[in-house]
């Protein structure tokens, strides 16, 4: 199963909306949710700029899910038959 890393923080309505959108549009995509407030390095990197979604090393979105971009990236990563 492919996995998205979603950088979030508590009490973040945009984070909740982004996670719900990923789950709604991509139910077979696993989500690893990382709370940026758990590490000083993550706070330095992301500050208030969450949610941020990554597929591997590729940044897919910031603040709002870009469904078309994520779908394209997932299609590009499909194994060739």
The predicted-structure confidence for 28-53, as pLDDT tens digits, reads as follows 999 999 999 999 999 999 999 999 99
Strand order in the sheet with 58-62: 30-35, 3-8, 52-55, 58-62
Q: With 90 as the cut, is the pLDDT of residue 77 above it? A: no
Q: Which residue segments constitute the domains of the chain, with CATH numbers given? A: 3-76 (3.40.30.10)
**What pLDDT is attached to residue 46?**
94
As a whole number of angstroms, the distance between CA 75 and CA 69 comes to: 10
Q: With 90 as the cut, is the pLDDT of residue 23 above it? A: yes
Percent of the chain exceeding pLDDT 90 equals 90
Q: Which residues pair with 8 in a beta bridge?
A: 35
């Amino acid at each position: 199963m492919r996995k998205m890393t979603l950088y979030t923080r508590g009490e973040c309505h945009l984070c909740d909306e982004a996670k719900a959108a990923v789950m709604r549009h991509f139910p077979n995509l696993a989500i690893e949710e990382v709370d940026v407030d758990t590490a000083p390095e993550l706070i330095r990197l992301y500050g208030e700029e969450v949610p941020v979604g990554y597929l591997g090393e590729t940044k897919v979105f910031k603040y709002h899910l870009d469904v078309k971009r994520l779908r394209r990236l997932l299609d590009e990563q499909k194994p060739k038959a």
